[in-house]
Amino acid sequence: MLKRIVRMEFDPEKVQDFLTLFEEVKEKIAARPGCTHLELCKDASKDNVYYTFSIWEKEEDLEGYRSSELFEKTWERTKILFSEKPQAFSLLEDHH
């Protein structure tokens, strides 16, 4: 299982544009093969910072989404809204 967190900081005037876009695509992303969870979280102290948290059955499923037309079109519309470069983290559970 792969957990993915993406931190995105938006131009404050463009936050609503992102929220509208996320509403349009969230069900399509969640329906991708291997995606078992998708949620959007808002930063507790910054109104223009959001995180996506997703869980994928395996890394190949995430990569399949990242190479899809859905991702390409969504990312194209999202990246123009950023005020800072996004940060992405892929996490595996540590089974020690």
Confidence of residue 93 (pLDDT cuts 50, 70, 90): confident
In whole angstroms, give the CA distance from residue 54 to residue 68: 16
Residues ≥6 apart with Cβ < 8 Å to 85: none
Here the tokens at position 47 are 């109104």
pTM > 0.75: yes
Q: Evaluate if residue 95 carries a pLDDT over 80.
A: no
- Give the pLDDT score at 76: 96
Q: Evaluate if residue 96 carries a pLDDT over 80.
A: no
Domain with 36, as residue range(s), is 2-92
pLDDT tens figures, 32-87:
999 999 999 999 999 999 999 999 999 999 999 999 999 999 999 999 999 999 99
Residues ≥6 apart with Cβ < 8 Å to 40: 22, 26, 50, 51, 52, 53
Look-up: residue for tokens 């291997």? 34
CATH of the domain at 54: 3.30.70.100
Number of domains in the chain: 1
